[in-house]
Chain A
Amino acid sequence: MISIRNVTYDIAGKPVLCDVSLDLPRHGVTALIGPNGAGKSTLLSLVARLMPLQSGGIDIDGQDITTCDTGALARVLSILPQIQDAAPRLTVSDLVAFGRYPHSRGRLTAEDHRIVDNSLDAFRLSDMRNRALETLSGGQRQNALLAMIFAQGTDYLLLDEPLNNLDIAAARGLMTQLRTLADEQQRSIVIVLHDINYALAYADHLVVMTEGRVAATGSPKEVISQDLINRIYRTDAAVIAIGDRRLVDVGP
């Protein structure tokens, strides 16, 4: 379990997170949604120790992230950031192999190579394994980064808007893979989504953030309502029920 206690975070004197306390459950897919600027990326960055905490604390399975060894943490938790740095001239398979660095420190074993190959396969990158990253399309590059995170094989995966740039097949494929990881390997996935329909269809658990606070948590079907969308997003997209499914209708 990732437990976030009383985390407040200011950027340039402006509060970005206000006293956030939140438990992200072990096992399953947790979707994190909320308007642009709500503080979702900031929260994930703090959990992934990309920025130092200003106040409050974060534990992962009872381990305080500020005192825990960063190399050991990289075997437990991985993050796909929302904004990627420009990649150096690496091949796709080089990049994915770096995902094994926390485990092998650069001396890849046969097992590591097998994991890298599986990961390339899972993201349909096997044919492009020797291509330079800079020659890939936006979506292919996103897939390569995801494959690296998959190869890292951590119990916790924090994915900040991983569906960016992905076509519908790739997006559904990724969500299905995340479900498999959660159901068959008991992994815990926290995923920032903007398309609420994906959250409704694939997530076990939903966290809604707005203006630096947690506005609601619970199972997606219970949390998502017409009222919540009006209130949080200030827009009047309709929530329609089809059998026991919910869909957000984005039409005017």
Chain B
Amino acid sequence: MRLGLLLGGGLFVLGLLSLFVGVIPLQPVDLLRDPAAWELLRDSRVPRTLAVVITGGALAVCGALLQSMVRNRFVEPMTTGTGQGAALGILFATWAAPEAGLLTKMAVASTTALLASVGFLLIIQRLPPTQPLLIPLVGLIYGGVLGAGVTFIAYQGDLIQYIDVWMNGEFSGVLRGRYELLWVAAFVAVLTYMAADQFAILGLGRTASINLGLNYEQVMIVGLLAISVVTALVVVTVGAIPFLGLVVPNIVARYAGDNLRRTLPLIASGGAALVLASDVIGRLLRHPFEIPVGTVMGILGAVIFLWLLYRPRSHAL
């Protein structure tokens, strides 16, 4: 509860900051006298802030879902193949049908993301259950191999310059009319909350899930679909942000446990707050230049994570 208030408050303050920080100076008082200020807010600052919040929230939720599904805390979609799969799809669509609409490309990217995630699940099923650390390791290698495939195809198709756009998330290009697809990701993330109990039960393992009457395979498929669609939408609109889905759910789990009905809202607001903070810091540090959000988040996330790891833990949740 306290964590919820803290995150909610932090998110609100960061959101306000995000509206008034940027290359073009904008003060709250400007809004009273300058119509151009409103335009700047409407066309750039509000879309950017919303894009950051949706991306952060949805990616953190996806990380938590995948962790519950594979019962391993050290995986997240962007590093275990789903993100690379999405990049592969959008690349393929751009190369094979450059004039195709964004929705078609999105559908292709979602499909390849889904195939890549299914591939990951099939591979890790073969791993010995006594070696839980193999799962993230194999995931990283699998993601790396797919990522290499992306680079190879891009090289062949003369599309190298796009790769950076898809693989390194960045919000400086977000404008009104260019981020709206992310609302679909927000919608999907909110929908998964309806099945929060089902995903929490998956975390108890297959036997316990079946005992409780869960249609195990069906919930797994729904989870994979949600993760793939959100990941593909984020990769296509703002680019991949690695490790977010790893750091935030782990931090929340340490404080509030794994009962997803209770923790998913915390995870979503935590993810949004972390990306928002990283984005604002990235805009401020070398003003008027920007540091990519992924770089700032890598450092910020690692610091927070280490600090939490070395704090004494409590008995209760």
7 contacts between A and B (CB under 8 A): A50-B207, A50-B210, A79-B211, A86-B205, A91-B317, A106-B196, A130-B317
**Are A88's CB and B261's CB within 8 A?**
no
**Are A89's CB and B213's CB within 8 A?**
no
Which A residues between 133 and 166 are near B, CB-CB below 8 angstroms? 135, 149, 152
The verdict on B30 contacting chain A, using a C-beta distance below 8 Å, is no
Contact with B along A84-105 (1 / 0, CB 8 A): 1111111100110011011001
**Are B261's CB and A49's CB within 8 A?**
no
Residue of B nearest to A158 (CB): B211
Q: Pick the residue among B213, B257, B259, B315 that contacts A74 (CB under 8 A).
A: B213
**Are A81's CB and B258's CB within 8 A?**
no
**Are B316's CB and A91's CB within 8 A?**
yes
The verdict on B104 contacting chain A, using a C-beta distance below 8 Å, is no
A70-B210 in contact given A90-B258, A101-B197 (Cβ < 8 Å): yes
A residues with a Cβ closer than 8 A to B are: 48-50, 70-75, 78-79, 81, 84-91, 94-95, 98-99, 101-102, 105-106, 130-132, 135, 149, 152
Q: Report the minimal beta-carbon distance from B195 to chain A, rounded to whole angstroms.
A: 9
Contact with A along B183-205 (1 / 0, CB 8 A): 00000000000001110110111
**Are B212's CB and A98's CB within 8 A?**
yes
Q: Which of chain A's residues have a CB closer than 8 A to the CB of B71?
A: 85-86, 88
Given contacts A106-B196, A106-B197, A130-B317, 11 further A-B contacts (CB under 8 A): A48-B211, A75-B213, A81-B207, A85-B71, A85-B204, A85-B205, A88-B68, A88-B204, A90-B257, A90-B258, A99-B212
**Are B215's CB and A90's CB within 8 A?**
no
Q: What's the A-B contact tally at a CB cutoff of 8 Å?
A: 90
Cα distance A94–B71 when bound, in Å?
A: 17
Cα distance A90–B263 when bound, in Å?
A: 11
For B213, B214, B215, B316, the residue with the greatest tally of chain A CB atoms inside 10 Å of its CB is B213
Q: Which of chain A's residues have a CB closer than 8 A to the CB of B261?
A: 106
**Are B258's CB and A78's CB within 8 A?**
no
The verdict on B303 contacting chain A, using a C-beta distance below 8 Å, is no
**Are B204's CB and A87's CB within 8 A?**
yes
Cα distance A98–B213 when bound, in Å?
A: 11
Cα distance A25–B254 when bound, in Å?
A: 46
Q: Pick the residue among B210, B214, B215, B253 that contacts A48 (CB under 8 A).
A: B210
**Are B257's CB and A91's CB within 8 A?**
yes
Q: Pick the residue among B197, B213, B316 that contacts A70 (CB under 8 A).
A: B213
Cα distance A105–B196 when bound, in Å?
A: 11
Residue of B nearest to A78 (CB): B211
